[in-house]
Structure 1
Amino acid sequence: MAAQPFTVSDVMTRKVVAVRGGADFKEIVAAMRKRAVSAVPVVEGEGRVVGVVSEADLLRKEEFHDHGLGLQEQLRRLEATAKAGSHTADELMTSPAVTVGPEASLPQAARLMAAHRVKRLPVVDERGTLQGVVSRVDLLRVFLRSDDELAAEIRQGIVERWFPLSRHQVDVRVEDGVVTLSGDVRDASLIPLATRLARAVEGVVDVRSELRAGA
């Protein structure tokens, strides 16, 4: 059997800093600096996520610090100017927060980040309670899997499953995440499938197929 796909819970950071809605500007900056993060979740009650404050939200104050705006520009940039005059997390935050569940796949999390142009996502359970945070760096962690680990997964989950009669003639080599499949197989029609499945293994950088039809 192939290994189960990695989920957000496998790579997320569980020790996270969050702030309450009443946290003031300097408290938020201090929290970000403490964890060296670019955004923090805003929580209420027993940890339910209600929003996110990012560096971009905080920088509104600096952007308009010495720059007076005319009425037309104030109206055009209403949200930005409102945040420039805000002092607490519940005024500064983007709400509702874009969140992801712990069982979501890594591609799903990556698509969410891309669609909403964010670098990190709060991870919440079915009640919306904060469980952790997943960042772009976390999603890339699967590429740190060893070559031996990748080779073993491909051999067990792909070669032995799809080429049971030819498995001893198939060689699986992995170098720096690049997989090379070579050897003779009885059913050549399965070669494209094996290549596609190997490329889908998390942590694989690329696949080179040298498989060919054999006796």
Structure 2
Amino acid sequence: MRADAVMTGNVCVVTPEVSLRDAAALLMRRDIRGLPVVDADGALVGMITEADLVRAGSAPDPRLHARRDLAVAPNAPQTVGEIMSTPAVAARADADLADVARIMLSAQLTRVPILDDRNRLVGLVSRRDLVRLLTRPDSDIAADVRQVLADWYANVTPTVEVTEGEVVLAGPAAAVPDLLRALIRAIPGVLAVRTAALTP
């Protein structure tokens, strides 16, 4: 499945000149954890997250430390451009969703901006978007499996049953090629694929 099939479009963004207070207020108001940062042309230039804001706004309180001669903390940055993570880790709209998930896990990200072929932001895929796929109804998954079988398997198609994300292919035609099993496994919400004999 492509990234643009599950991404959130119409993403809330900020520019590098936005103040940290305004960015923080936007995160709180929208109940989100991070924002893409774009330039005047809409090209992605960075990301700003709750962690970035916490880091920028936390200065030690001398009253709460054993030593009273703590060095004066430097003034905090004032704008998004001063603390944003750049370059931002992003993926293309036509990227395989499994690759986007691997990027998230390896880079410990909670969201990945999605770009078009001109490097303009078109959406965002979050961990929640990926988790949501695991809640797809079994009936929807079964319909997708039958469509894959119709598109890729000219022989008599097996009986398809889906229970809690497990696909069971039954009948004489259940011994499908490995490629077809891989295509079925790649359907969002599929957790396993197995074959079984039809019970009389």
Fold conserved between structures, TM > 0.5: yes
Number of residue pairs the alignment of both structures matches = 190
Q: 1:133 to 1:156 in 2, by over 3 A?
A: closer
Q: Is the Cα contact below 8 Å between 1:51 and 1:93 reproduced in 2?
A: yes
- Once the two structures are TM-superposed, the CA of residue 127 in structure 1 deviates from its matched residue by 2.5
Would you identify which runs of 4 or more consecutive aligned residues in structure 1 move more than 3 Å? Answer: 61-65, 159-163, 190-197
Task: Output the CA distance in 2 between the equivalents of 1:161 and 1:17.
Answer: 39
Q: Report sequence identity in percent.
A: 33
Higher helix share: 1
Q: Which residue of 1 aligns with 2:196?
A: 210
Q: Is the Cα contact below 8 Å between 2:139 and 2:162 reproduced in 1?
A: yes
TM-score normalized with structure 2 length: 0.81
Helix, strand or coil: the match of 2:171?
strand
Please give the residue correspondences for 1:84-95 in structure 2 after superposition, counting only pairs within 5 Å: 85-95=76-86
Q: 1:112 aligns with which of 103, 125, 131?
A: 103
Helix, strand or coil: the match of 2:28?
helix
- Once the two structures are TM-superposed, the CA of residue 177 in structure 1 deviates from its matched residue by 1.7
The question of 1:19 aligning with 2:14 is answered: yes
| Counterpart code for 1:109 | V
Q: Which residue of 1 aligns with 2:24?
A: 29
Q: Which residue of 1 aligns with 2:68?
A: none
| Counterpart code for 1:25 | L
Q: Which residue of 1 aligns with 2:120?
A: 129
The question of 1:61 aligning with 2:56 is answered: yes
Q: Is the Cα contact below 8 Å between 1:11 and 1:141 reproduced in 2?
A: no
- Once the two structures are TM-superposed, the CA of residue 62 in structure 1 deviates from its matched residue by 4.3
Q: Is the Cα contact below 8 Å between 2:148 and 2:183 reproduced in 1?
A: no
Q: Is the Cα contact below 8 Å between 1:7 and 1:105 reproduced in 2?
A: yes
In structure 2, list runs of 5 or more residues that go unmatched.
Answer: 66-70
TM-score normalized with structure 1 length: 0.76
In structure 1, list runs of 5 or more residues that go unmatched.
Answer: 1-5, 69-73, 75-80
Q: 1:146 aligns with which of 106, 114, 137?
A: 137
Task: Output the CA distance in 2 between the equivalents of 1:10 and 1:172.
Answer: 24
